Amino acid sequence: MRAVLALAALVALAQIVFYFCRTVDDMYISLRYAERLVAGDGLTFNDGARVEGFSNPLWVFLQAALIGLGVDGVVATKLLSVLSYAALLVLSFRYATRALGLRPASAALGVLALAATSYIASWALWGLETPLYLALLVGLLLALHARLTAPPTRRSLVALAAVTVAFLATRPEAPLYLVALAAGALLLPPRGLTRADVLRRALPPAAAAAVVVAALLLWRHAYYGQWLPQTYFAKEGGGFSLSKLAPLVAQGSGPLEVVYLLGAIVLAGVMAARARATAPALVMLTTCFFVASVTIDWMPNQRHFLPLIALAPWPWLWALERLLRGALRRGPRALARAVLASLVAGLLAGQAVAAFAVDARFSIYDFRSHGRGQSWVREKSSDTWRDALDGLTRTPPRHVAGMSVLGMGMIDQLFRVLEASAAPERESWFIGRDIGRVGYYSPVQIFDTAGLFTPELTASEAWRASGAVEPAVLDAAFGHEPVATDLLDAWGHAVGARRDIMQRYDVLIGSRRDPVAMRPKAVVRPAPAEVLARYERVVRDFRAFFFASTLYGESVGAAVEKRFAWIAPQLRANAEPLSDAPPPGLTPAAPVDLERGAVTLHGCRVEPAPGSEPAPGALTLACYWEVHRALPRDLTVFVHWVDDHGALHFHGDHPPVVGLLPTSAWPVGRVVRDAVVMFFPDELRGVPLSARVGLYDGGYRAPADEGPGVDPDGRAIGPTATP
């Protein structure tokens, strides 16, 4: 037994190592609530609005307690996750031996199966309340068994009442399990007890728990004005449908996994009938009822099935023990048959657990190319293990090295917010589906298009019925004059149909009919020094436990570091973008007029890359522009680096002043200094190159007046440099 438990501990440790540096981004919702609570902003997500956009109050309070002690929020969450995961395994062993009567050796095998199950381990380590919820569920079963089957004591009363309150304060579906367990204890009392005995033993802790829960509900109503959390209104819908149970046996499940889980449900029913151990069957049936009743998320509903999966080993092990004990009484031949059947069943269950051990189901939209042709599967492989170890050693993983700093996935939403407006972030608004990647790393106010923090949305009958976005909801959202958006699904279509809104915004991603990312036209962009300060704050926050901040396995910590390493020199090089006159010594020596005299390029010069230790091959090209009349559209600066023969070797195209001062905002009569730091590849080191400069927009190039400073292709001739 000890050897098996030691093996289970090693397997659990391996799971912790693999998943420790990964988080699910919903984690940052509760973290923002917890940090704002500690900071004195109340249990709120946005300033001035009390909306309970989380469904795990106990988890939030535990996070806040550790943050209040000075622990970094992500570190605090990971610490709670590891401790809860360990508690789940320990309590499961005790429940199997004390409540189900399994032998310690069998219980050890069950704990090994739980430790190996990646569905449990991944959700336990991603930063949500899941491991605490599962541990409290098993603890509730253990405390209930102790209260009903042993002489009642004050200790058992307090233990059952406390774990009941904690369980109810962790997840909103917890009352379903309590009702099911109470009904099961009354309908099929433990042997030797009557229903009256069950009531006498269960009512005192139930009454004590009810008093505490009633106080919590009264506090919720007094603080938030609602009896139920906002998440209930945001996620309700869909109605009861058994088709929602499909993820249990589909979306990447292999045949052995299906047999293992369905067999556990059937055997749990047998165990309830023959041994009056009703809890596993009731938990499994309640889990199925809950999953069939709620809205299915975009990911497989493995998280909702976890209570069922967490109890799946025990019916199998109970059945095998009963089979072997019965065979011992019937003689050698029966024993031989039982041993053979046990070996076959153990082999099948073992292979199913092994399948659980090496993969976790993700969304088909994320991992189409992963795993044995099953697009819902993301396996543990040498590549994913390398990513995990890279995270623990703060080594940027290979997939981040291949990212463009101008497009790094979901974290781009945060970058757009940081660079959007000169107004303080805390006074600005973002509209979009925010599950942490913006709201935690920026104090910006969030109008969440999924309704978690937006009662204006959940009050809409059209949205709750069909997801339609009503004009009144759009008026409420854009009445905040958001500085950035991320509009998905019906939101993009609804906004694109509103001409009054679209007239005030430029579309960065999407189209005018179906916009995704937008920026207000009239906004004052922040100064480079302010943007740099914002990025420095984000990097500082990540550095508290940098690579623990990842999204679904994507190393966002490393992505932020890479983005910062690129943008910080750009911002420092553009610290003073406006002046009254250009400096001397520019190339070309004579100014070049473009866009039919609307713009003058006074010239450019090469400067060292900013910083005490600039990257090898980096240099800065600073160009000085002056606009004589307002430009109707934004133009992009192109920089072509050519050799002595005119062959193009390197592009340095960029929005002027790091995108913070578009050409449409250039003040008439002022000189704009636009500097871009370029990082040349190794093969161009030591190669003399000459810059060619101009302005363009898509396929349109601003024409340059002919002269000695313009080449035959209509490009201004800039300085020569050797990277």
- Domain ranges in the chain are 2-361, 409-527, 579-721
Report the SS3 class of residue 652: coil
Residue 329 confidence (pLDDT): 60
Packing angle between helix 130-149 and helix 57-68, nearest 10 degrees?
110
What's the one-letter identity of residue 601?
L
Q: Which of 155, 144, 124, 224 is nearest to 185 (CA)?
A: 144
Tokens describing residue 28: 């940052």
CA distance 17 to 1: 24
* Residue 191 parent element (H or E): none
Tokens describing residue 713: 């292709």
Show the CA angle centred on residue 437, arms to residues 432 and 441, nearest 5°. 115
Specify the DSSP class assigned to residue 587.
B
* Residue 293 parent element (H or E): helix 279-293
For the beta carbon of residue 701, count every other beta carbon within 10 angstroms.
17
For the beta carbon of residue 704, count every other beta carbon within 10 angstroms.
23
Dihedral, CA atoms, 383, 384, 389, 395, nearest 10 degrees?
70
CA distance 376 to 245: 16
The CA-atom distances, in angstroms, between 330 and each of 335, 418, 428, 578, 681 are 7, 75, 77, 95, 79
Instruction: Provide the sign of the torsion angle of the four alpha carbons 375, 379, 382, 383, taken in this order.
Output: positive
Residue 231 confidence (pLDDT): 85
Residues near 207 by Cβ (< 8 Å), separated by ≥ 6? none
Specify the DSSP class assigned to residue 594.
E
Q: Which residues pair with 518 in a beta bridge?
A: 507
The CA-atom distances, in angstroms, between 688 and each of 228, 615, 649, 675, 683 are 68, 18, 11, 20, 12
CA distance 368 to 373: 9
For the beta carbon of residue 541, count every other beta carbon within 10 angstroms.
18
Instruction: Provide the sign of the torsion angle of the four alpha carbons 200, 205, 211, 213, taken in this order.
Output: negative
Q: Is the pTM of this model over 0.85?
A: yes
579-721 CATH: 2.60.40
Q: Which residues pair with 651 in a beta bridge?
A: 640
| Pairing verdict, β 618-627 and 671-679 | antiparallel
- By the 8 A CB rule, do 174 and 229 touch? no
- By the 8 A CB rule, do 319 and 271 touch? yes
Residue 345 confidence (pLDDT): 66
Contacts 24+ apart (CB under 8 A), 214-220: 216/57, 216/165, 216/169, 220/52
DSSP notation for 321-358: HHHHHHHHHH-HHHHHHHHHHHHHHHHHHHHHHHHHHH
The HSE-up count of residue 625 (CA atoms within 13 Å, CB side) is 33
218 phi and psi, to 5 degrees?
Answer: -65, -40
Packing angle between helix 279-293 and helix 255-275, nearest 10 degrees?
130
Strands (E), 496-570: 505-510, 515-520
pLDDT < 50 positions in the chain? 367-374
Q: Which residues pair with 551 in a beta bridge?
A: 23, 554
- By the 8 A CB rule, do 310 and 137 touch? yes
Specify the DSSP class assigned to residue 295.
P
Report the SS3 class of residue 601: strand
Report the SS3 class of residue 309: helix
What's the one-letter identity of residue 332?
P
CA distance 179 to 151: 23
Tokens describing residue 440: 């935690």
Q: Which of 207, 197, 199, 193 is nearest to 158 (CA)?
A: 207
Give the chain's radius of gyration (CA, Å). Answer: 31
- By the 8 A CB rule, do 608 and 599 touch? no
Report the SS3 class of residue 107: helix
First to last CA, the chain: 66
| Pairing verdict, β 636-642 and 592-594 | unpaired
Residues near 525 by Cβ (< 8 Å), separated by ≥ 6? 419, 420, 421, 422, 659, 660, 661, 662, 665
Residue 367 confidence (pLDDT): 47
Sheet-wide strand order for 592-594:
578-579, 671-679, 618-627, 599-608, 592-594
Question: Helical H runs in 2-153?
Answer: 2-19, 27-38, 57-68, 73-94, 104-116, 118-125, 130-149
Residue 559 confidence (pLDDT): 86
CA distance 530 to 533: 5
